[in-house]
């Protein structure tokens, strides 16, 4: 028999999510333009107000802030200046992450305060060491495409935590790094550290190995600190991640379509500030917006709405042709239990089907406050399953396998057929999730709970995984830079404290 | 009387503005003192609202609506209250500490306190220690409430407690603190007086503190 080539058949590569029609996306866009033009956005930085004004927005000044109304052409133009696809350069070039439309990858949740201690299992404040450890585990896990600052170095003094976070991450991962910064000074220090690790500032300029994340103040506000960070990052040639945390029913409308409008307005106005500061600044369209649970008053990230909003944001980012970093996989549970597993799966699957480039949320519990290593390891296993599922079923002549089916007929078996040998490695592979029969499971695990096996796996990675080492001397050099920064900030702070003490005494 | 008080509570739970004002008027006409109406009708009514909030039976927007009705009723009573009683259960000065812009939780607490019968002075966000002290003094506050959502701004709570001590009014005021990263232990460590994990318990704790 001969089968000729089929011409022009419709085909779909992978499973996806048809969340909105083009008309619906346009409606969200138009509503956003209207809000930015008529309602405006509250900008709490004089320097940023100047930039908006210079760019053609109208600025009305009040005490300590200004309302900026941005004409539609300017919003669209600025969104257009931001690069379409971004390659997130990594210290280890093998780990450069290409975020073309619909390519999906994963990372952890960010900025947690607590961690469940993997040894004592007690909840405690996270430390710089935890920040580095989680970066190392992330570096090891193939499913993780960029490394996010998962926890804060709570054992370090306030204004320097972000720099300490960065040091801990640089030494533990070769991947691209996403993290928040305390101030423009911290960004400058981070650039210095990154430059030492890549062999100089000129190389860093070509290959910026980290992205600074900033958060607008929902609803419709850009706080002074955010503006400062955007302008500083743009000026120094770095990319930014704009990550609103709108809470539907709290700081954002109770209707989810309305959340998309305010969220979009917050992101597009931040992009405008970045592009007006320096055209071509890479902007990642982010989201960790969700609902404020109106019964318990908590920012619920285990709710289906978290997945719905973040999957929708992925579609919006795609509409603007911008790379995106959206929520998926977080949980409200207090332990790495079955609730956390269900919650991870629902929102991550939605965001993955929607084609989000970087889905963040793994490893986190308790509305984003607490990190857990066992959850991270279990989540990574589920990420792999989701990667397989989103690939979908490819319908080709070879895969339809008519000849093979004919050959095996009703008497044969496929397990001995050559095609099974050829395709077996395409099957999803479980490691921690157990697919064995009961007897083998008992023998292998002694019935130990999956969480326990996950903690063990995490400890094993921590002991054995060696991330790409820093260049000679770099570790020592970055230590010195961090120490100098720490000392300088401490001195400045003492001056401040003396100042406020004096004021209190006067009073 | 019991029946009238019961109806006030029901009216508050249902957020029936007109009903509650009528009942309050009825009470005044029957020569009940404003303080009696507050203590026996309105405040117990809001207590029930608080409990239902805690159990998840009532949604927060419903609770806030009830709180608003409560405030309306207090306005009606104000002319009949002595100066001392006119701040209801007491005056609370509240704010989010310096460097911190998170205010959703603080706003909920402040509305809940108002609804429970406190006179609340909300200083907004990014409030410096000396501004807390100043506001506490000028408002003759019974309670000072601080909110912080960032671990980097939590030390400002301690600084504020210190500033209150240095200003000499620490003994005249109770201090409450809250916000996601704040714990009972932290509150004890900084020598504040009360911790509330959510808006409903914030008002419970506030009431305990001023007894
Ligand atoms: C919404 C949100 C924001 C919004 C805030 C909008 C607003 N108008 O408030 C925005 C987007 C602006 C924001 C900004 C930032 N945020 Co934020 N944010 C949150 C989030 C998701 C929810 C907070 C919230 O509103 N919860 C709902 C309310 C109702 O709950 P609540 O505040 O806890 O209040 C209740 C109780 O705590 C208590 N309570 C509160 N106050 C008081 C006071 C008293 C006296 C009492 C008795 C009780 C009490 O009662 C309240 C009602 O039930 C939290 C995560 C979380 N789950 O908490 C992160 C979180 C607090 N943010 C975080 C961070 C890092 C930031 C940013 C630094 C991000 C950035 N890189 O720019 C900035 C900082 C801005 C600043 N200078 O303050 C981190 C903090 C990490 C840390 N080291 O502390 C968190 C934990 C998220 C995370 N994992 O990254 N954030």
* CA B147/CA A180 separation, integer angstroms: 22
The strand pairing partners of B119, in sequence order, are: B91
Contact state of A251 with B60 under an 8 Å Cβ cutoff: no
Q: Which of B169, B146, B141 is nearest to B158 (CA)?
A: B146
Within A354-408, residue ranges assigned H as helices are 373-391, 397-400, 402-408
Nearest to A197 by CA among A170, A178, A161, A233: A170
pLDDT in tens, B196-211: 999 889 999 999 998 7
**pLDDT at position A496, please?**
56
Task: For ligand 1, pick from B53, B100, B136, B149 the residue to mutate: most ligand atoms within 8 Å of CB.
Answer: B149
- Please tell me what DSSP assigns to residue B42: I
Whether residue B60 lies within 8 A of chain A, CB to CB, comes out as yes
- Closest residue in A to B101 (Cα) is A217
User: Looking at ligand 1, which residue's alpha carbon is closest to its atom 46?
Assistant: B178
Lowest mean pLDDT among A77-81, A467-471, B16-20, B84-88: B84-88
8 Å CB contact of B181 and A113: yes
3-state secondary structure of A26: helix
- What is d(CA A382, CA A358) in angstroms, rounded to the nearest whole number? 15
DSSP alpha helix (H) spans, chain B:
2-13, 17-29, 34-37, 43-54, 60-77, 104-116, 129-138, 155-166, 184-189, 199-210
d(CA A132, CA A147): 11
pTM of the model: 0.91
**pLDDT tens-digit series, residues B136-183:** 999 999 999 999 999 889 999 999 999 999 999 999 999 999 999 999
Query: Domains of chain A: which residue ranges?
Result: 22-71, 77-391
Listed residue (A207, A205, A135, A209) closest to A172, CA to CA: A135
Q: Atom 14 in ligand 1: which residue has the minimum CA distance? A: A215
* Contact (CB<8Å) B163/A504: yes
For the Cβ of B103 lying below 6 angstroms from any atom of ligand 1, the answer is yes
Nearest-CA residue of chain B relative to A504? B130
Give me the residue from B58, B129, B180 closest to A500, CB to CB. B129
What is the pLDDT, as a whole number, of residue A195?
A: 97
CATH of B2-82, one of 1.10.1240.10, 3.90.1300.10, 1.20.1260.10, 3.40.50.300: 1.10.1240.10
Ligand 1 touching residue A368 (CB < 6 A): yes
Q: DSSP for A409-423?
A: TTT--STTSHHHHHH
Mutate to test the pocket of ligand 1, among A45, A215, A295 (most ligand atoms within 8 A of CB): A215
SS3 assignment, position A230: helix
CA-nearest residue for atom 61, ligand 1, is B149
Residue B14 CA, ligand 1 centroid: distance in Å: 31
What pLDDT is attached to residue A500? 44
Interface contact A369-B180, CB threshold 8 A: yes
Mean pLDDT throughout A188-217? Answer: 96
- Determine whether the interchain pair A507/B198 forms a contact, defined as Cβ–Cβ distance below 8 Å: no
Q: Predicted confidence band at A6 (pLDDT cuts at 50, 70, 90)? A: confident
User: Model ipTM?
Assistant: 0.85
Q: Where are the domains of chain B?
A: 2-82, 88-210
CA atoms within 13 A on the CB side of A95: 22
Closest atom of ligand 1 to A112 CA is: 89
Distances, alpha carbon A323 to alpha carbons A91, A308, A319, B55, in Å: 20, 18, 10, 42
- Would you call A223 and B152 a contact, using CB atoms and an 8 Å cutoff? no
| pLDDT band at residue A248 using 50, 70 and 90 as cut-offs | very high
Distance of CA B184 from the midpoint of ligand 1 (Å): 18
Report the nearest-CA residue for atom 77 of ligand 1: B100
| 3-state DSSP assignment of residue B208 | helix
| CATH code that applies to domain A77-391 | 3.20.20.480
Q: Which pLDDT score is estimated for A506?
A: 37
**C-alpha dihedral, B179 to B180 to B181 to B184, nearest 10°:** 70
CA distances from B20 to A293, B66, B116 (A): 29, 10, 15
The confidence score (pLDDT) of residue A158 equals 82
Q: Which residues of A223-246 are buried (b: 16+ CB within 10 A; e: fewer)?
A: bbbbbbbbbbbbebbbbbbbbbbb
Contact flag B133-A504 (C-beta cutoff 8 Å): yes
Please report the pLDDT score of residue B88 as a whole number: 77
What CA–CA distances, in Å, run from A174 to A49, A93, A256?
38, 8, 38
Enumerate residues 292 to 311 of chain A having a beta carbon within 8 A of any beta carbon in chain B: 292, 294-297
Q: Which helix (H) or strand (E) holds A452?
A: helix A450-464
Prior bond to B160 cis, omega within 30?
no
Give yes or no for a contact between A222 and A267, defined as CB atoms under 8 angstroms apart: no
Residue range A397-402: average pLDDT?
Answer: 94
Instruction: Give the Å distance between the CA of A486 and the centre of ligand 1.
Output: 26
Backbone dihedral angles phi then psi of residue A120, each to the nearest 5 degrees? -85, -15
pLDDT band at A487 (very low <50, low <70, confident <90, very high): very high
Q: Find out whether A474 and A197 touch, Cβ atoms under 8 Å.
A: yes
Helix (H, G, I), strand (E, B) or coil at A291: strand
Which among B59, B151, B159 has CB closest to A152?
B151
Q: Say yes or no for a CB contact (<8 Å) between B180 and A367.
A: yes
Separation of alpha carbons A454 and A377, rounded Å: 6
- A418-447, pLDDT tens digit by residue? 999 999 999 999 999 999 999 999 999 999
Q: Which residues contact A250 (CB under 8 A, 6 or more apart)?
A: A292, A299, B104
Mean pLDDT of chain B: 92
Tell me which chain B residues have a C-beta less than 8 angstroms from the C-beta of A229: none
Cβ–ligand 1 contact at A265 (below 6 Å): no
Kind plus residue range of the DSSP H or E element containing A51: helix A46-55
Torsion of CA B39, B41, B46, B47, to 10 degrees: 70
Residue A450 has a CB neighbour count (10 Å cut-off) of 18
Q: What is the mean pLDDT of residues A237-244?
A: 96
What DSSP designation does A8 have? S
Is the model's pLDDT at A263 over the cut of 50? yes
Residue A365 has which token pair? 């519990």
Q: What is the rounded distance in angstroms from the CA atom of residue A416 to the CA atom of residue A472?
A: 53
* A253 inside 8 A of chain B by CB: no
Q: Is A221 in the pocket of ligand 1 (CB under 6 A)?
A: no
Residues of B in contact with A158 (CB under 8 A): 152, 155
Q: Does the CB atom of residue A359 touch ligand 1 within 6 A?
A: no
Q: Output the pLDDT for position A495.
A: 62
Nearest of A221, A337, A330, A233 to residue A281 by alpha carbon = A233
Q: Given pLDDT bands bounded at 50, 70 and 90, which one contains residue A501?
A: very low
Say yes or no for a CB contact (<8 Å) between A504 and B199. Answer: no
Phi-psi region of A166 (alpha: psi -120 to 50; beta: other; left: phi over 0): alpha
Q: Who has greater pLDDT, B87 or B58?
A: B58
Between positions 447 and 506 of A, the ones with CB within 8 A of B are: 500, 503-505
Chain B nearest-CA residue for A152: B151
Query: Dihedral sign, CA of B50, B53, B54, B55?
Result: positive
Q: How far is CA A159 from CA A181, A227, B153, in A?
A: 9, 17, 10
Residue A463 CA from chain centroid, whole number: 26
Could you say which residues from 2 to 21 on chain B have a Cβ atom under 8 Å away from some Cβ of chain A?
A: none
Residue A45: which residues within 8 A CB-CB, separation 6 or more?
A222, A223, A224, A227, A228
Fold of B88-210: Rossmann fold (3.40.50)
Helix crossing, A128-140 with A373-391: angle to 10°?
30
* Residue nearest (by alpha carbon) to ligand 1 atom 73: A215
In the predicted model, is pLDDT for residue A30 greater than 50? yes
Test B133 with A507 for CB contact under 8 angstroms. Answer: yes
For residue B87, name the pLDDT band (cuts at 50, 70, 90).
Answer: confident
User: Are the beta carbons of A504 and B134 separated by less than 8 Å?
Assistant: no
pLDDT tens digits, A292-315? 999 999 999 999 999 999 999 999
Mean pLDDT along residues A450-479: 96
């Amino acid at each position: 028999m001969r089968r000729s080539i089929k011409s022009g058949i419709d085909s779909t590569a992978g499973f996806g999510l048809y969340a909105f029609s083009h008309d619906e996306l346009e409606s969200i866009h138009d509503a956003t333009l209207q809000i930015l033009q008529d309602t405006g956005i509250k900008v709490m930085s004089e320097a940023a107000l100047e930039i908006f004004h210079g760019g053609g927005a109208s600025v009305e000044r009040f005490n300590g802030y200004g309302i900026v109304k941005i004409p539609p052409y300017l919003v669209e133009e600025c969104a257009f200046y931001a690069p379409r696809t971004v390659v997130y350069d990594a210290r280890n070039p093998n780990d450069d992450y290409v975020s073309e439309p619909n390519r999906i990858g994963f990372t952890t949740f960010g900025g947690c305060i607590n961690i469940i201690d993997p040894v004592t299992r007690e909840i405690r404040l996270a430390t710089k060491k935890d920040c580095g450890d989680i970066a190392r585990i992330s570096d090891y896990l193939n499913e993780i495409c960029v490394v996010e600052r998962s926890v804060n170095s709570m054992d370090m003094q306030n204004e320097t935590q972000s720099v300490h976070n960065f040091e801990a991450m640089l030494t533990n991962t070769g991947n691209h790094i996403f993290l928040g910064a305390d101030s423009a000074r911290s960004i400058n220090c981070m650039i210095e550290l990154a430059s030492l690790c890549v062999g100089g500032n000129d190389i860093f300029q070509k290959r910026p190995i980290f992205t600074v994340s900033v958060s607008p103040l929902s609803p419709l506000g850009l706080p002074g600190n955010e503006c400062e960070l955007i302008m500083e990052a743009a000026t120094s040639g770095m990319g930014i991640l704009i990550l609103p945390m709108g809470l539907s029913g709290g700081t954002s409308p109770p209707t989810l379509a309305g959340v998309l409008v305010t969220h979009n307005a917050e992101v597009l106005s931040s992009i405008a500030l970045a592009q007006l500061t320096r055209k071509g600044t890479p902007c990642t369209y982010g989201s960790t917006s969700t609902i404020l649970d109106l019964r318990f008053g908590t920012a619920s990230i285990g709710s289906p709405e978290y997945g719905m909003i973040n999957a929708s944001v992925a579609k919006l980012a795609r509409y603007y042709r911008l790379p995106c970093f959206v929520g998926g996989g977080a949980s409200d549970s207090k332990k790495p239990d079955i609730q956390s597993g269900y919650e991870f799966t629902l929102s991550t699957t939605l965001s993955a089907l929607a084609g989000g480039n970087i889905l963040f949320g793994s490893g986190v519990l308790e509305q984003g406050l607490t990190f857990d290593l066992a959850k991270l390891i279990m989540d990574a296993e589920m990420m792999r399953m989701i990667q397989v599922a989103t690939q979908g079923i490819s319908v080709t002549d070879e895969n339809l396998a008519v000849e093979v089916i004919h050959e095996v007929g009703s008497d044969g078996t496929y397990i001995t057929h050559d095609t099974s040998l050829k395709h077996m490695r395409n099957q999803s592979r479980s490691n921690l999730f157990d697919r064995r029969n009961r007897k083998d499971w008992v023998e292998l695990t002694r019935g130990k709970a999956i969480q326990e096996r996950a903690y063990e796996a995490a400890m094993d990675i921590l002991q054995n995984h060696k991330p790409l080492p820093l260049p000679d001397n770099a570790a020592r050099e970055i230590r010195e830079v961090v120490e100098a920064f720490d000392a300088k900030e401490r001195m400045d702070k003492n001056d401040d404290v003396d100042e406020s003490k004096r004021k209190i005494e006067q009073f | 009387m019991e029946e009238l008080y019961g109806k006030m509570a029901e009216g508050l739970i249902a957020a029936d503005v007109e009903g509650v004002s009528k009942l309050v008027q009825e009470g005044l006409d029957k020569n009940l003192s404003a303080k009696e109406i507050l203590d026996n009708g309105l405040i117990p009514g809001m207590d029930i609202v608080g409990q239902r909030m805690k159990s998840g039976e009532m949604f927060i927007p419903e609770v806030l609506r009830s709180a608003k009705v409560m405030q309306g009723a207090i306005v009606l009573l104000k002319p009949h209250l002595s100066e001392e009683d006119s701040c209801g259960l007491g005056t609370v000065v509240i704010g989010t500490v310096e460097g911190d812009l998170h205010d959703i939780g603080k706003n909920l607490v402040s509305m809940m306190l108002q609804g429970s019968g406190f006179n609340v002075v909300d200083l907004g966000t990014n409030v410096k220690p000396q501004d807390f002290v100043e506001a506490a003094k000028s408002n003759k506050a019974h309670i000072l409430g601080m909110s912080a959502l960032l671990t980097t701004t939590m030390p400002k709570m301690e600084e504020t407690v210190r500033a209150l001590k240095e200003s000499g009014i620490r003994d005249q005021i109770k201090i409450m603190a809250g916000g996601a990263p704040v714990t009972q232990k932290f509150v004890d460590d900084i020598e504040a007086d009360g911790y509330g994990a959510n808006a409903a318990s914030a008002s419970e704790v506030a009431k305990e503190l001023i007894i």
